[in-house]
Each structure stands twice: as structure tokens, then as C-alpha cells.
Amino acid sequence: MLSGESNVILKIEEPISSDLRVAWTLFMRGKDLEVLTDKGFKRVNRIRRLVVNKLIRVQFENGLALNSTEDHVIVAHGEPIIMQDICLRKDIPIPMLFPKLGGERRYINCIEAVLRQGPDWLPSYLYVDSVKSLLETLTKGIDWRSFFTELGFKADRTAYSWLRKGKCPLSLIRSIILRYGDITQFHDVLSECTLTVKRGRSNIPLLVDMERESFKLLVALAFSSLHYVDLSCEKGIITFRLKKKDDRNMLIDSLRDIESKATIRTNANFVKVQDKCLYIFFRWIIGISPQIRLRRVIKYPLSLLKHSIISNIVRYMLSSSGDLVHGDGSSCNIANQYLSLDILRICAPMLTSFRIRRENNILSLSLRWASSVLPLRIFTTYPVRTEDLRGPIPAYDVSSSDALLVLSL
């Protein structure tokens, strides 16, 4: 089918690894090539490098097409596709996504968010549901213990009982992807899965869209002291203590807009949210480990988000706060010290350094970016009262009254 193409420069008769690192080395030399996989399907893959729009295209014999764009995401017909972690460019891994193949691409699958951006401890607490047929296919002729051992996974009693019910730990799903590589044939099964918290009684819908304004607002709310006085996550309930009624309504609207199944209760300026998925997410955001006694190190969460998402969050906070004194696209002055420190906290992963200066009773904050992805320089000036300098400003200590503080991140 493909051998007649005039621009095919290489045809490999023997199967090679479907790890596209090998293919990348080959088609870097020229135009196109044909590859046979060694995963038992004996299908001809066609890998095309389109230099003009920087697109790498992989087309299977059954018509399924995979595109890798500069966002380093494999998609099929507009939807994400499941494959193993591969590298199509030097030292740049491409995250493979669990798809919600049915319906519109309105949601980022929560499994995808965990695999791409979640902390290391999270997969051990989450199970993928409704994958019984997938597991039966993969384990055909293999006993469970051998299956666990082959994937390097501990075969404990809890995991075994959940697997018998068709629930698979995310960490095991990762191992399956790495071991079997091409499991796209099971996308119909995986498109129906849900996420279940370990020891939990109910399923969590996969309804977190990181590109929607409501999600950005939710993240901004989680970090911005402008909108809440206190945020706590205890006993499965997220509690916001908000400053004013408008903030309460905005938070409730955001929670409903992301189509969360959360139970929302309000009382005066308090909003209590009971939702397992959001509970885990917010505990992750504010840096609470699920088991403190294990002394797990929680990575800085926003450093795992796309720079474009962080950029949109920052711009949203600047445009909606009402404290923006001046801004011309490359610099801005902010009249609220806590907003500037919130932004500093959010943007920290992209900064090479920041500077806090007190001069003539004015405290100034300037940031230097490590990336041109977010071309925004923030220079903050606001009057400082003596009592403001007695203790540390949230997250960063500015205790010296006349000192110039330069920190490298």
C-alpha cells in the first residue's frame, strides 16, 4: 500500500522496535520510511516527517493516524492516543495521553493529568476502573502473580482484589504501557474508564479541563490571597473562607462550570466542597502529602503545568484584580503586595531570579524570566507600613528594613 510512494527512501523488511526513537534516527536522514512493528500485529507503519509545519505523522495500515506537533502530544483524529513514552526529539519526551475518545474533546482526562503532571505519590492512590476486558486480554494464559512480577509491580492483596473487579492501579497502567507499548487496540475499553480513589466508595468522573477559563480561575483562586482568607483540606472537604460574597459566587460558578460532581455547601463567606478529585488536587496544590509520616517530598506543583497555562493564570489575575496600576505588555505596576507575591509564587518555576527592594518606604519587586514563553516583567511598587516588615511576607522573608534581597531559584 505504501511501497508505491516515490518519496519513501527506506523500507525495513525485518521488524524493529516500535519505540520511535529508532525511527526518529532513521527518518532524520531524509523523507519517509516504512517500518514493521514487532508487537505481534505485523502492521506496516508509515512515518512521515513534514518539515514545513513541524509535524511528525505516523499512519497505521488500519487508517489510524497519529500526529505529533510542537506541543509534544500524540493525537489521533483530534483526540489523544495511548502509546508508550517515546522521544521524537533529542531529550524532549512526548507525554502519551489516555483519551476520552467518545464525544467532544471538552475535558482533559484526569488520568492524563496525573500521568503528565501529577506528583509521584498520586498514582498509588488512584485506580482506573472498567478495564476488566483489557486486563483479561493482557493476562490471557498468565497468572496474576506472574503478571505482577513481569511488570515489576508488588502483588498485594488489595491490588489483586481490585484487579479481579476490573480496577487497575495507575502505576500498573504505566507499567503496562511501557511493557506492551501499543495498546491502542483497547481504546474503546479505556474510553469508558473512570477514576476511583483507593479505599473509596464512589467513582470520580474524568472532568478536569486545564485549558478552560474555569480551571485557570480555580487554580488562581487556590493561590490568590485576594479571593480567600483561608483554605483548608481536611477529612475530604475543601473549605474556602472568602472575603466577600462576589468571590463566593465566582468560586461556586467555577466549580459548576468544570462540571464537577462536587457537593457544594455555603454559609456566609464559607464555601465547603466535597469532591474526591478536587480534594486530592487542592491538597497537592497547597503541598499536603496524603501520608505525612512517609515524608514524601512534594514537588512544586505549578512547575508541572504548561507555561502557557501559567501565563494565562497570571494574566487573568492581573486583569481581574483591579490592582493593576500600569501595564504595557512587557511590564506592569501592581498596587497590592499580596497579589505580587501570589504571582511570584505561581511564576517561580520560570524565574531565574527575583529582587525585593525597600527604598523610601516603598517595597519593589522585579522578576527575571528564564523563558520567553511568558514575556511579562512585573515591577511592583506599593507603600510599606512598618508593621508589614516585622514578620516574613508570605513565602519570602524580607526582614531587613533596608536590604536588597536577591534570590536565585
pLDDT (tens digit per residue) in 262-290 = 677 777 777 887 776 566 556 655 554 44
List beta partners, residue 197: 126
- pLDDT band for position 103 (50/70/90)? very low
Last-in-domain residue among 204, 227, 251: 204
Write the CA distances from 171 to 207, 220, 284, 335, 371, integer angstroms. Answer: 20, 29, 18, 46, 32
Assigned domain for 99 exists: no
Of 128 and 392, which is predicted with more confidence? Answer: 128
33 beta partners = 10, 47
Lowest mean pLDDT across 55-64, 302-311, 342-351: 55-64
Res 50 pLDDT > 60: no
* Of 128-132, 138-142, 369-373, 391-395, minimum mean pLDDT range: 391-395
pLDDT of 140 above 60: yes
Tell me the one-letter amino acid at 303. S
How does pLDDT run across 7-37, given as a tens digit for each residue? Answer: 333 333 333 333 344 444 444 443 333 333 3
Three cell numbers, residue 155: 502483588
Same domain (yes/no): 140, 225: no
Are both 231 and 291 inside the same structural domain? yes
Residues of the chain above pLDDT 70, percent: 8
Last residue of a domain, one of 69, 94, 119: 94
Chain centre to alpha carbon of residue 177: 18
Model pLDDT, residue 32: 38
Domain span at 32:
8-94
Q: How far is CA 66 from the centre of its chain?
A: 21
Helix axes 110-117, 170-180, angle to 10 degrees: 80
Q: What is the mean pLDDT of residues 42-68?
A: 36
Confidence of residue 248 (pLDDT cuts 50, 70, 90): confident
Evaluate whether residue 311 is within a structural domain. no
Q: Cα separation of 339 and 223, whole Å?
A: 9
Q: Provide mean pLDDT across the span 346-354.
A: 51
Q: Is residue 362, in this structure, part of any structural domain at all?
A: yes
Predicted confidence at residue 15, as pLDDT, reads 34
How many other C-beta atoms lie within 10 A of the C-beta of residue 73? 16
Exposed/middle/buried for 187, CB within 10 Å: 0-12, 13-18, 19+? Answer: buried
CA nearest 64: which of 89, 93, 84, 44? 44
Q: Please check whether residues 273 and 357 belong to one and the same domain.
A: no
| Top-ranked range on mean pLDDT: pick from 82-91, 180-189, 302-311 | 302-311
The residue out of 64, 94, 124 marking a domain boundary is 94
Count CB neighbours of 179 within 10 A: 14
Whether 137 and 234 have beta carbons less than 8 Å apart is answered as no
pLDDT tens digits for 183-206? Answer: 444 444 444 444 444 433 333 333
Q: Are 352 and 329 in contact (CB under 8 A)?
A: no
Q: Is the dihedral of CA 71, 316, 297, 280 positive or negative?
A: negative
Q: Are residues 325 and 373 in the same domain?
A: yes
Beta strand 377-383 pairing with 331-334:
parallel
Number of domains in the chain: 4
CA dist 73 and 94 (Å) reads 6
